[in-house]
């Protein structure tokens, strides 16, 4: 499954994340170290009794710049919050000075873009009225392309803009697409990442599958009972040729289950293939990995499948955990968010043990951390899996 051509390491020259853990990397870092999760009971209006969500505070107050007002929606407002965090927009501006605006691409993932705006437009109709309100802006809110278009225009970029939507692998998968643009020389830098925001569609959809946890999600726990849905934005500015020791994406791999639309392959075949592809692309053996950030959604099926896949490759020799107990499952943003978390783990030498887990599933064969551990973390493998049998794994470390 290793690509014939090996993966060129990509420098992460700017990085930001906003989730229920907080706005920016410092807040995220502090939440991880202090083991302070961001989940809370869902709002009554969400209509998912007993479920918790990972809501980002303050999105409602964010206005996009007046010249981009047509893009105003929850998803783009969260993107705006992230662009304003960690000096990300300034980092991109510096890249524009290095390479020129036309040489910088935007590749972003989302599963539902601004569909909350569409849901609101449906609800705003007068009784008996079929047509949506005249002021509803489909192309710049609901449409998947609204996200990369907004970010590209907001950052004043003139390279290609691409929207990836592969359900819950979207954010991770953008790294592979960015790598292809960089490797072919079509871009000199790419803004990759993902944004997804809370909406009724995903809350009610996962509820219909009976996959929402009662109370906060407890990935890998013996008594885990499902997902808490969250929202997040995370961006990585990627460039070729990282300096030695610089934070970098060292490998990336993807696979398909080819098995079922919503159930993972029971033995985690697709997950194993994606992890192997990521390791192979980086030219690394499994024992070069110091921590596995699991997809770890908290559902019975995902976590059991993923444990089998991780144990198949790593045995119990590598600590692993899911950080979705902090943030909830942020769907199309999760792969990008967890790449940012992986970078923090490398910088801080941190294994953030699963939050809120008393007893790890006794059937698990991997080394699931349930308390924070400190140590040298040279490289992190970060997993993302999604509906449609989509799998993606990233290796984050230092070049």
Partner 1 sequence: MSGASCHIAGVGLLGPGLPGWAASVPVLRGDATWVAADPVLPPPALLAPTERRRTGAVARLALAAAQEAADGQEIAGLDTVFASSNGDGATVGAILDALTTEGGDVSPTQFHNSVHNAAAGYWGIGAHSTRPSVSLGGHDDTLPMGLLQAAAQCAAWNRPVLFCAYDAPLPPPLEACRVTRFPFAMALVLQPGSGGRAALRLWHQAEACAAASPRSGLRDALEDGNPAARALPLLEALAVPRPAGLCWNLLDGGTVRAELAPC
Name which of residues 79 to 138 contact partner 1 (CB under 8 A). 101-102, 105, 111, 113, 115, 118-119, 122-123, 130-132, 136, 138
String marking each residue 216-255 x if it binds partner 1 according to CB under 8 A: -------------------------------------xxx
- Cα distances (Å, whole numbers) of residue 235 to 22, 74, 196, 327, 339: 15, 17, 12, 16, 9
- How far the first Cα of the chain sits from its last, in Å, is 23
Other CB atoms within 10 A of residue 90 CB: 12
Place of tokens 């639309």: 261
Q: What share of the chain is helix, strand, coil (3-state, %, to 5)?
A: 40, 25, 40
Instruction: Choose the catalytic residue: 168, 199, 354, 392.
Output: 168
Closest to partner 1 by CB, 24 vs 109, is 109
Question: What is the nearest approach in angstroms of partner 1 to the Cβ of residue 313?
Answer: 16
- Is 259 marked active-site? no
Closest to partner 1 by CB, 252 vs 311, is 252
Question: What is the nearest approach in angstroms of partner 1 to the Cβ of residue 219?
Answer: 21
Question: What is the nearest approach in angstroms of partner 1 to the Cβ of residue 106?
Answer: 10
For 366, phi then psi, to 5°, come to -90, 170
- Is 260 marked active-site? no
Question: What is the nearest approach in angstroms of partner 1 to the Cβ of residue 199?
Answer: 9
Question: What is the nearest approach in angstroms of partner 1 to the Cβ of residue 285?
Answer: 21
Q: Could you tell me how many residues of this chain bind partner 1 (CB under 8 A)?
A: 75
Instruction: Choose the catalytic residue: 163, 265, 329, 392.
Output: 329
Two tokens at 99? 């390479």
Closest to partner 1 by CB, 284 vs 349, is 284
Distance CA 11, CA 347 (A): 15
Q: Where are the extended beta strands (E) located within 220-352?
A: 229-230, 232-240, 247-256, 291-293, 319-321, 350-351
String marking each residue 2-21 x if it binds partner 1 according to CB under 8 A: -xxx----------------
Distance CA 199, CA 116 (A): 5
- Is 73 marked active-site? no
Provide CB contacts within 8 A for 91, sequence distance 6+. Answer: 13, 14, 237
Closest to partner 1 by CB, 83 vs 360, is 83
């Amino acid at each position: 499954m290793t690509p014939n051509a090996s993966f060129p390491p990509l420098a992460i020259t700017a990085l930001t994340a906003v989730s229920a853990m907080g706005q920016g990397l410092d807040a995220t870092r502090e939440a991880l170290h202090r083991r302070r999760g961001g989940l809370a009971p869902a709002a009554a209006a969400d209509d998912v009794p007993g479920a918790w969500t990972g809501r980002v505070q303050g999105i409602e107050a964010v206005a996009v710049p007046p010249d981009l007002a047509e893009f105003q929606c929850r998803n783009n407002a969260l993107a705006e919050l992230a662009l304003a965090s960690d000096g990300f927009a300034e980092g991109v501006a510096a890249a524009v000075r290095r390479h020129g605006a036309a040489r910088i691409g935007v590749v972003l993932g989302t599963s539902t873009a601004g569909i909350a705006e569409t849901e609101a437009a449906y609800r705003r109709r007068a009784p008996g009225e079929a047509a949506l309100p005249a002021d509803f802006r489909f192309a710049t809110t609901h449409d998947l392309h609204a996200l990369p278009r907004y970010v590209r225009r907001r950052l004043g970029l003139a390279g290609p803009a691409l929207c990836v939507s592969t359900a819950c692998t979207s954010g991770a998968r953008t790294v592979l697409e960015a790598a292809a643009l960089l490797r072919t020389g079509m871009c000199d830098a790419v803004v990759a990442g993902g944004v997804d925001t809370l909406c009724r569609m995903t809350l009610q959809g996962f509820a219909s599958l009976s996959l929402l946890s009662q109370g906060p999600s407890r990935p890998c726990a013996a008594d885990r009972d499902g997902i808490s849905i969250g929202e997040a934005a995370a961006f990585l500015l990627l460039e070729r040729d990282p300096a030695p020791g610089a934070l970098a994406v060292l490998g990336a791999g993807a696979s398909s289950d080819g098995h079922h639309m919503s159930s993972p392959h029971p033995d985690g075949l697709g997950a194993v293939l994606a992890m192997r592809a990521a390791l192979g692309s980086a030219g690394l053996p499994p024992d070069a990995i110091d921590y596995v950030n699991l997809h770890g959604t908290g559902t019975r099926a995902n976590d059991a499948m993923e444990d089998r896949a991780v144990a198949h490759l790593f045995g119990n020799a590598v600590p692993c955990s899911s950080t979705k107990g902090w943030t909830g499952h942020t769907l199309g943003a999760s792969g990008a968010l967890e790449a940012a978390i992986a970078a923090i783990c490398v910088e801080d030498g941190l294994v953030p043990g699963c939050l809120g887990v008393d007893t790890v599933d006794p059937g698990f064969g991997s080394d699931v951390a349930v308390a924070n551990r400190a140590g040298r973390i040279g490289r992190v493998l970060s997993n993302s899996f999604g509906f449609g049998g989509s799998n993606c794994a990233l290796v984050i470390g230092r070049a």
